[in-house]
Each structure stands twice: as C-alpha cells, then as structure tokens.
Amino acid sequence: GGIITQTPKFLIGQEGQKLTLKCQQNFNHDTMYWYRQDSGKGLRLIYYSITENDLQKGDLSEGYDASREKKSSFSLTVTSAQKNEMAVFLCASSIGGNSDYTFGSGTRLLVI
C-alpha cells in the first residue's frame, strides 16, 4: 500500500515569515492537491496540480505559492504568514478522473 507524508506535522511561524509545507506520495498518482481546513469552514482548495510541473489555482490561492517539481511531491509556500493565523493544511492525491482522494494527516500551522 501507498502513503502520503506531510512534513512538518506542526509548524510555528512568525508574522511576515515565508513558510514551506511539503507533501510526498508513493501511489504514483497524477494529481495532487493542497487544501486549507478551518473550523466551521470545511475544506477549501488552495492549489492543485494535474501532473509534474503543472499548477492550477484553487479558490484560496492568494497568499500562497506551490511547486510540483516531481510527480511524487507537491510543496506549498505561505508567502507571508499572518499573525494569529491557525489552520490545518491537508495534502491529497488522486489518480484522476472520477477516483477518490487520499489525504495526508495534515500540517498544523500557528503564527505568533
């Protein structure tokens, strides 16, 4: 079986800092996603990538950059962390088409 690994599990940053979150999958899935999870707001799509070197903006892309240099990895950068920001960032992957998503366990971000 495969796995999606997100690093780090916990991230504490300072206001204005650039922060990078990493995601690796060994399913050989084509498509990868970054979601932000806030209490009461569900899952909101930040970026997704259909294949290596492809990037597509989601509904919440402002304030974020992403990079897909290899098929197996997808990184997300918070370009300028906002004070008191607290959220969980979830990475997911899928084969594509009508297949379901497989999620990582998340990176929990706190900005002080």
Residue 9, C-beta contacts closer than 8 angstroms, at least 6 positions apart: 105, 106, 107, 108
Instruction: Give the CB-side neighbour count of residue 58, counting CA atoms within 13 A.
Output: 19
Please report where in the chains the tokens 């999620």 appear, as a residue. Answer: 103
Q: Least distance from C-beta 98 to another protein, angstroms?
A: 5
- Our finding on whether 41 is near another protein (CB under 8 A) is yes
- Our finding on whether 72 is near another protein (CB under 8 A) is no
- Our finding on whether 43 is near another protein (CB under 8 A) is yes
- Our finding on whether 104 is near another protein (CB under 8 A) is yes
Q: Which residues pair with 4 in a beta bridge?
A: 25
- Our finding on whether 27 is near another protein (CB under 8 A) is no
Q: Which is nearer to another protein, 83 or 86 (CB)?
A: 86
Q: Show contacts of 62-70: CB within 8 Å, 24+ apart.
A: 64/34, 66/34, 68/32
Residues that bind another protein (CB under 8 A): 4, 33, 40-43, 45, 48, 50, 58, 90, 92, 96, 98, 100-106
